[in-house]
Homo-oligomer: A and B are copies of this chain.
Amino acid sequence: MHMGEIRGLDRPGRQMTTGEMSREHQVSLRTLRFYEDRGLLHPLRDGVSRLYSNHDRLSLRFILRCRRLGFTLSQIHDMLDKQLFEGETPGLDLSRDKKVEAQITHLERRRREIDEALTELRRYE
């Protein structure tokens, strides 16, 4: 029994270290620790080192998806809490969240602002 087995390197679906989480999801170690500090991730501890479960992995993917959609970490935190409260696996219920509609409105306004800026910038070319 060597470290590879203990840390889950050759058993997908088991515990992962920060380094593995970082590489697999293309996020920095700092980001993983920051999300933990903000209560978005809750890795276990192997002494002083972090160990991420399969649930943590699903949470991280949900976080990254929501981030691409332009939600703040605070909003993402609420959504994860709500999912936990309703006993769900993270990442399934975006369609039932009120925040979706508000975010669409928000992004449409951002888009109009960018379009106006582009129109003006192209006049300067």
Contact = CB atoms under 8 A, between A and B. Distances in A.
Interface stretch (A5-13, A28-36, A94-102): A94-102
B117 A100 contact: no
Interface stretch (A17-25, A50-58, A107-115): A107-115
A68 interface: yes
A107 B112 CA distance: 12
Nearest to A100: B124
A13 to B, nearest CB: 27
A2 interface: no
A107 B117 contact: yes
A39 interface: no
Contacts of A100: 121, 124-125
A27 B115 CA distance: 23
A72 interface: no
A44 interface: no
Interface of A: 68-70, 94-95, 97, 100-101, 103-104, 107-108, 110-111, 113-118, 120-125
